Each structure stands twice: as structure tokens, then as C-alpha cells.
């Protein structure tokens, strides 16, 4: 995408709350993370056309006996601070001990070594995590979020936003977007609900089924 836009990317690793605050303050131009497009967030940032339908996925060690949310009662479950998964856990895992993390790597390390019983993460994180730790982890529960997900832009930079949206539409139309999704998210199929935002994906999804 950067090549298509003719821009040079300067990467900054941060948390979801800090990324959103940084967009509002002008520190960042673009948050390259799959963010649930809640009405509250939309008041402060510009969201792209949705890219995926977000999911709340509870990751566990392969040998874990947990298969339902009820199985986490009394267990230590991690979430990323300020994420939509943190909100989901607060609402649906009230009998669990919720542990906040600013860093996914720290949380996953604790999950793998047994200090955590589960970690609630989003779709993109879950797919990448399973590829990075083959045979060690599995998905215990998965639930669709109430809102689709996309990337976010600073509201005062509409020219950049418009240019991104134009190139994103081209990527979807020529099949590049779905090919990239299938390459990097090998464990979680692209959801057909996204056709409402990208009608051109209907034929592409049908062709690969």
C-alpha cells in the first residue's frame, strides 16, 4: 500500500489507547491495526471502509481443557489494555481474573509458560500467533464483534485518507486484497459478511470455495 501511495512508512509500536490518542493529537497519521469501528472511536478518528469483521478469540495452550467461556471461571485471562477485547472480557468473563497487558508478546509468553490460562485477542492477532507458535496454542472460543474492523486515520488528514481509500478499492477489485488475506491469515477464512462493504468480493469468495 505504501508503494502505491508513494509514501515512506515510519513504524511506531504502541498500544491501542495510545495509538488513538496519537491520531487525535496529530502524533500519528495512520493506525495500521485492525480496530473495531465503535461509534465512540468514530467520533475522534476517520475509519477506513471495513477490512474484516472483528472477532473476540480466546487463545489457550493446546493441552487446555477450556472450550467455552464458562470454563474460564476462576482462571487468569489476559487482554490488551484499552482494546475491544478488554471490553468483551469485562462483559463476558466476569468470573475470571482479568489481567491487562500493554504488550502482546509479554501476554503470549505468560500464556505459553502457564502463567495465564487464556488470552483474548482479535482476528489478525490470533492468526499470526498460531503461525508463530505452531502446535503450542489453539482457539478455545470465538465470537463476532458487534462492529466491523478497519484501520484509522487522523481526522485532519482527509487527503491521505481519500488516497488510501482509492488504492484500497483497487486492491479489492483486482483480487490482490483477498490473495494477501489468504496468504497471511491461513487459519481463519475471510468472512462472507464483508460483501456488504465490498460487493466485488462475492465472486472472488465463490471462486475459491
> Do 129 and 200 lie in a common domain?
no
> Do 66 and 121 lie in a common domain?
yes
What residue ranges of the chain have pLDDT lower than 70?
Answer: none
> Do 82 and 34 lie in a common domain?
no
- For residue 88, the model assigns a pLDDT of 94
> Do 22 and 98 lie in a common domain?
no
What DSSP character marks residue 134?
T
> Do 141 and 67 lie in a common domain?
yes
> Do 139 and 199 lie in a common domain?
no
Domain that holds residue 174: 2-52+147-208
Tell me how far apart the alpha carbons of residues 182 and 103 are, in angstroms, rounded to a whole number: 26
- For residue 151, the model assigns a pLDDT of 93
User: Based on the structure, what is the number of domains in the chain?
Assistant: 2
- For residue 185, the model assigns a pLDDT of 80
- For residue 130, the model assigns a pLDDT of 87
- For residue 112, the model assigns a pLDDT of 96
> Do 65 and 43 lie in a common domain?
no
> Do 128 and 65 lie in a common domain?
yes
- For residue 195, the model assigns a pLDDT of 94
- For residue 24, the model assigns a pLDDT of 92
- For residue 124, the model assigns a pLDDT of 79
Helix ranges, the chain (H)? 2-5, 16-25, 39-42, 84-92, 104-113, 123-132, 158-173, 176-184, 201-208
Tell me how far apart the alpha carbons of residues 163 and 142 are, in angstroms, rounded to a whole number: 34
> Do 62 and 137 lie in a common domain?
yes
> Do 30 and 71 lie in a common domain?
no
> Do 194 and 115 lie in a common domain?
no
- For residue 125, the model assigns a pLDDT of 84
> Do 119 and 66 lie in a common domain?
yes
Stated as kind and residue range, the H or E segment containing 78 is strand 76-80
Cell numbers 502505491: residue: 4
Q: What is the CATH number of the domain that holds 78?
A: 3.40.190.10
Amino acid at each position: 500500500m505504501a508503494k502505491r501511495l508513494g509514501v515512506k512508512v515510519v513504524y511506531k509500536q504502541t498500544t491501542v489507547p495510545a495509538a488513538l490518542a496519537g491520531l487525535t493529537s496529530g502524533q500519528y497519521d495512520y493506525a495500521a491495526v485492525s480496530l473495531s469501528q465503535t461509534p465512540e472511536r468514530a467520533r475522534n478518528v476517520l475509519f477506513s471502509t471495513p477490512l474484516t469483521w472483528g472477532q473476540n478469540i480466546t487463545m489457550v495452550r493446546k493441552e487446555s481443557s477450556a472450550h467455552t467461556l464458562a470454563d474460564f471461571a476462576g482462571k487468569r485471562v489476559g487482554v490488551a489494555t484499552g482494546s475491544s477485547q478488554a471490553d468483551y472480557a469485562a462483559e463476558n468473563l466476569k468470573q475470571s481474573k482479568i489481567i491487562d497487558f500493554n504488550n502482546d508478546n509479554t501476554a503470549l509468553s505468560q500464556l505459553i509458560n502457564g502463567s495465564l490460562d487464556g488470552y483474548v485477542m482479535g482476528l489478525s492477532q490470533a492468526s499470526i500467533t498460531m503461525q508463530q507458535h505452531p502446535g503450542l496454542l489453539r482457539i478455545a472460543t470465538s465470537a463476532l464483534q458487534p462492529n466491523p474492523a478497519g484501520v484509522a486515520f487522523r481526522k485532519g488528514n482527509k487527503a491521505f485518507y481519500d488516497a488510501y481509500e482509492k488504492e484500497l478499492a483497487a486492491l479489492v477489485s483486482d483480487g490482490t486484497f483477498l490473495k494477501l488475506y489468504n496468504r497471511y491469515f491461513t487459519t481463519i477464512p475471510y468472512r462472507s459478511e464483508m460483501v456488504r462493504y465490498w460487493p466485488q468480493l462475492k465472486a472472488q469468495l465463490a471462486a475459491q470455495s
